[in-house]
A and B are shown apart, each in its own frame.
Chain A
């Protein structure tokens, strides 16, 4: 597995750039990933989505379904795409340090 270095921290990632371990997540990770996900500045809205994904994952052991993400954060799917151009899976979940989405994606 590849290890990436960013501002003195190192993160273990897979070939798609997802964190290998949720525990390795730090706010620095978001700064590191944002550019590759087409995000200039992390706004409050970005943070709200990331925080919710992490809370939900800690509580339930899975990433929330898109409708749950929308309902709880109040962001419609369109707004989520505006915040995270790669979408809730590839964009938001990756930044939140959640495991890579699986299944027939």
Chain B
């Protein structure tokens, strides 16, 4: 397409430049019923999966219809959301912290009509466009990352793994029959953008091979001390190599000390490590961020590796489904996945979920690893 100027003048870049204005204030976008009753809510109830009702001191009621979204969406999808908001909600809508979409109405029948309408909308391939759900003790949307769509350090894909996982647990999205909410999160490398370290079930991209070293270019493209300092295990050290009679400043990596975190590649483009067969997924469980009953906790690794199997990742979805099924059957009401595993003991958790326990799962990272071992005789056979 031919170039169309927005009015910006490249020869005077600072002229007419607007900066530091921040985001728009949220109050500009509130639906009237929310603006009127702001800070004056009495109680709320979940009418049915995906539909909430908040009652204000004034007696006003706000009905919220929550539907899933793929997070990675096109402008035409957003326009469709806007069309729905125009038609049913006076042009208002909001996104949740897990990237679901919420429509707020002040009439119950209209809200139920909207739910039926949203559930009837489908893409050409047959998937729901706006499946209603994600409330109460179910599985809501998966917080995830960029994957092969946009990032340069991933060990797996985000959108793909999330789609297959949501397909596998879709019933739980549209229902509220679990003991407590189950948060599933996904990160495509162990930078852990998002919430994998604190989710009930977490999908994490991992490498299994050390980086390749591009000696010829390394000193030109990288600040060597940064690559050295990026390593959590001290496996990277500066060195010199001779290639075809020329000496290059570069780094050496002690492979037996490397645990394939990829931090050095983040700092230095000459240390790539992604690998078709080596890369895959680790599954973690038992994290949470709320303070309810028990303190917030980190998720723990329970499956060190499942291979990348695009486009449907069958091994990964099987493991996740199994964990979710056993948890749904065994846990007490209000018990989050981690609370349940802690109560029955992790050896029981592995037994019930039929997961293999391997040496990879035993913490060996610095002094704190010691505290994860069992210093008691209390265990079950």
Contact = CB atoms under 8 A, between A and B. Distances in A.
Interface in B189-238: 191, 220-226
Contacts of B155: none
A103 B13 contact: no
A102 B14 contact: no
A62 B222 CA distance: 8
B266 A22 contact: no
A104 B221 contact: no
Given A102-B266, A104-B266, A60 B191 contact: no
Contacts of B226: 62, 102
| Interface of chain A: mostly helix, strand, loop or mixed | loop
Interface residues of B, number: 14
A104 B225 CA distance: 17
B194 to A, nearest CB: 13
Given A85-B13, A85-B14, A99 B267 contact: no
Interface centre among B221, B222, B223, B267, by most chain A C-beta atoms within 10 angstroms, is B223
A102 B268 contact: yes
A61 B224 contact: yes
Given A85-B13, A85-B14, A104-B266, A21 B220 contact: yes
B307 interface: no
A85 B15 CA distance: 12
A102 B224 contact: no
A62 B225 contact: yes
B272 to A, nearest CB: 13
B91 interface: no
A104 B14 CA distance: 27
B222 A99 contact: yes
Interface of B: 13-14, 191, 220-226, 266-269
29 contacts: A20-B220, A20-B221, A21-B220, A22-B220, A38-B13, A38-B14, A60-B225, A61-B223, A61-B224, A61-B225, A62-B223, A62-B225, A62-B226, A63-B223, A85-B13, A85-B14, A99-B220, A99-B222, A99-B223, A100-B221, A102-B223, A102-B226, A102-B266, A102-B267, A102-B268, A102-B269, A103-B266, A103-B267, A104-B191
Shortest Cβ-Cβ A-B pairs, 9 listed:
A38-B13, A62-B223, A21-B220, A62-B225, A102-B267, A61-B225, A61-B224, A99-B221, A62-B226
